[in-house]
């Protein structure tokens, strides 16, 4: 069973092919990715219309590249999967339109996949794949959630952000420091030269007793800190960017302090979720899962607690087509692919820009 996966929910066009034959974990046969970062950088963030147009330009050449990598013809595909949501409506429509057209032309079924389910299952493509059940920390640009995962489609929300996502906290803080888009990797790089204890920043909801997150206050604290430092400089506040008067060391110290605050909250809440669940396995997924400090501190905390921790391969942490093809393959294997709400039947152009993971109604199969 060969499944082609197409990801186009935001600013990466990803296409991949997996072999989901039998019951073994699907095997990646080829994948290709085009990042739109360079295009959006000039605007300081994703421009939805430009994103959609670029997905249109990239998706078929990437599909050809994937098939060439796998050494297989288009006709060998057994099913086509695409990201149905959540994401930018226009961008999602490109993936769904192309997937439906391919499915129709080849007379193959088409599956709409939940983007977060793709992230959640992406560690199954790593060299150290997890086993069910596990606790998942899902940290991306738009989501921060802790989940109990008992199997494919069996997800119980344990806690989530009540305002900004962890990736958003990285991105917004990076913007305040005048760093480029996307801010997370840029902030993490600068933080390497900084002192994480230089500035005392809040650890929101750290002692709230539940498993929810809140990162909006952190952004305000960073803004206050940057303003304070800018006004204290002899040349006074900047006319162009707020952070201009700061020395490189001050910026690096702020970056290190922000990163330390976000990571401490993510690590402590993840460990609390593991304790609460009684499970001994943690899976980390989503773009922020690429953060080196987060991995280092989670590894240390998990080792101390006797908990196994699993990550996606670094290049599969951020958006990609492999996780969409994988999630579709695992659904087919679990007999869940055609369940209502999970997959589109026929060749309709239906996308779900807003789509809570909890709305995947899959418990019936268990
Ligand atoms: O999962 P993802 O690629 O896209 C969404 O589904 O949102 O996550 C993107 C997010 C962005 O906020 C980006 O700044 C963040 O992941 N990110 C990082 C790192 N790499 C990506 N944040 C911190 N450290 C990183 N190394
Ligand atoms: Zn994502």
Chain-centre distance for alpha carbon 102? 26
The predicted pLDDT at position 363 comes to 40
Say yes or no to pLDDT of 303 above 80. yes
Whether residue 40 is contained in a domain is answered as yes
Domain hosting residue 258, numbered range: 131-311
Q: Specify whether 151 is located in the same domain as 203.
A: yes
Q: Specify whether 332 is located in the same domain as 273.
A: no
Cα 139 to ligand 2 centre (Å): 9
Report phi then psi at 107, rounded to 5. 60, 50
Q: Which residues line ligand 1 (CB under 6 A)?
A: 10, 119, 140-142, 167, 170-171, 182-185, 188, 286-288, 290-291, 318-319
Whether residue 364 is contained in a domain is answered as no
The predicted pLDDT at position 340 comes to 52
Q: Specify whether 107 is located in the same domain as 138.
A: no
Q: Specify whether 185 is located in the same domain as 295.
A: yes
Confidence of residue 365 (pLDDT cuts 50, 70, 90): very low
Q: Specify whether 117 is located in the same domain as 215.
A: no
Q: If DSSP codes are grouped into helix, strand and coil, which group holds residue 66?
A: helix
The predicted pLDDT at position 338 comes to 67
Give the ligand whose atoms come closest to the C-alpha of residue 287. 1
* Cα 205 from Cα 209, distance rounded (Å): 8
* Cα 299 from Cα 309, distance rounded (Å): 7
Whether residue 202 is contained in a domain is answered as yes
Q: List pLDDT tens digits, range 233-287.
A: 877 777 778 899 999 999 999 999 999 999 999 999 999 999 999 999 999 999 9
Q: If DSSP codes are grouped into helix, strand and coil, which group holds residue 235?
A: coil
Q: Among 6-10, 195-199, 315-319, 345-349, which is the least confidently predicted range? A: 345-349
**Pair of tokens at residue 240:** 């162009």
Q: Whose CA is nearest to atom 3 of ligand 1?
A: 318
Give the ligand whose atoms come closest to the C-alpha of residue 266. 1
CATH of the domain at 55: 3.30.420.40
The predicted pLDDT at position 181 comes to 85
* Cα 135 from Cα 309, distance rounded (Å): 9
3-state helix, strand, coil in the chain (%, to 5): 45, 20, 35
Q: What is the DSSP letter of 165?
A: -
| 291: nearest Cα among 180, 185, 182 | 185
Q: List pLDDT tens digits, range 163-187.
A: 999 999 999 999 999 998 889 999 9
Whether residue 366 is contained in a domain is answered as no
Q: If DSSP codes are grouped into helix, strand and coil, which group holds residue 320?
A: coil
**Pair of tokens at residue 334:** 């679990």
Domains in the chain, number: 2
Q: Which residue has the tokens 């305000």?
A: 220
Q: Specify whether 97 is located in the same domain as 172.
A: no
Cα 104 to ligand 1 centre (Å): 34
Q: What ligand 1 atom has the least distance to the C-alpha of 188?
A: 24
Q: List pLDDT tens digits, range 113-153.
A: 999 999 999 999 999 999 999 999 999 999 999 999 999 99
What is the mean predicted confidence (pLDDT) over 3-17?
98
Q: Specify whether 143 is located in the same domain as 24.
A: no
The overall average pLDDT reported for the chain is 93
Say yes or no to pLDDT of 362 above 60. no
Q: Strands, DSSP E only, in the chain?
A: 2-7, 12-19, 27-35, 79-85, 110-114, 134-139, 144-151, 154-160, 281-285, 308-310
Q: Specify whether 268 is located in the same domain as 352.
A: no
Dihedral angle of Cα 168, 174, 175, 178, to the nearest 10 degrees: -170
């Amino acid at each position: 069973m060969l499944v082609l996966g197409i990801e186009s929910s935001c600013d990466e066009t990803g296409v991949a092919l997996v072999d989901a034959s039998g019951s073994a974990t699907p095997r990646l046969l080829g994948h290709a990715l085009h990042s739109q970062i360079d295009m959006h950088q000039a605007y300081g963030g994703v421009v939805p219309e430009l994103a959609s147009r670029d997905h249109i330009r990239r998706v078929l050449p990437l599909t050809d590249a994937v098939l060439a990598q796998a050494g297989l013809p288009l006709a060998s595909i057994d099913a086509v999967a695409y990201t149905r949501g959540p994401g930018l409506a226009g961008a999602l429509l490109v993936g769904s339109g192309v997937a439906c057209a391919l499915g129709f032309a080849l007379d193959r079924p088409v599956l709409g996949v939940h983007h977060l389910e793709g992230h959640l299952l992406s560690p199954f493509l790593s060299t150290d794949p997890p086993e069910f059940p596990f606790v998942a920390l899902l940290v991306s640009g738009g989501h921060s959630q802790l989940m109990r995962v008992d199997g494919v489609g069996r997800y119980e929300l344990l806690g989530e952000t009540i305002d900004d996502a962890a990736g958003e906290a990285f991105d917004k803080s990076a913007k305040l420091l005048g760093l480029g888009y996307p801010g997370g990797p840029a902030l993490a790089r600068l933080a390497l030269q900084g002192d994480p204890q230089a500035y005392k920043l809040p650890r929101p909801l750290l002692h709230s007793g539940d498993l929810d997150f809140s990162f909006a206050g952190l952004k305000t604290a960073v803004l206050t800190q940057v303003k304070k430092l800018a006004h204290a400089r002899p040349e006074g506040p900047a006319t162009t960017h707020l952070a201009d008067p700061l020395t490189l060391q001050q910026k690096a110290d702020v970056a290190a302090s922000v990163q330390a605050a976000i990571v401490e909250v993510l690590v402590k809440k993840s460990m609390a979720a593991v304790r609460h669940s009684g499970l001994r396995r943690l899976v980390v997924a989503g773009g922020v899962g690429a953060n080196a400090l987060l991995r280092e501190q989670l590894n240390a905390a998990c080792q101390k607690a006797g908990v196994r921790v699993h990550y996606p391969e670094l290049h599969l942490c951020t958006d990609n087509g492999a996780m969409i093809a994988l999630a579709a393959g695992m659904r087919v294997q679990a007999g869940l692919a055609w369940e209502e709400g999970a997959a589109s039947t026929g060749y309709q152009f239906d996308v779900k820009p807003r789509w809570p993971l909890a709305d995947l109604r899959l418990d019936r199969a268990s």
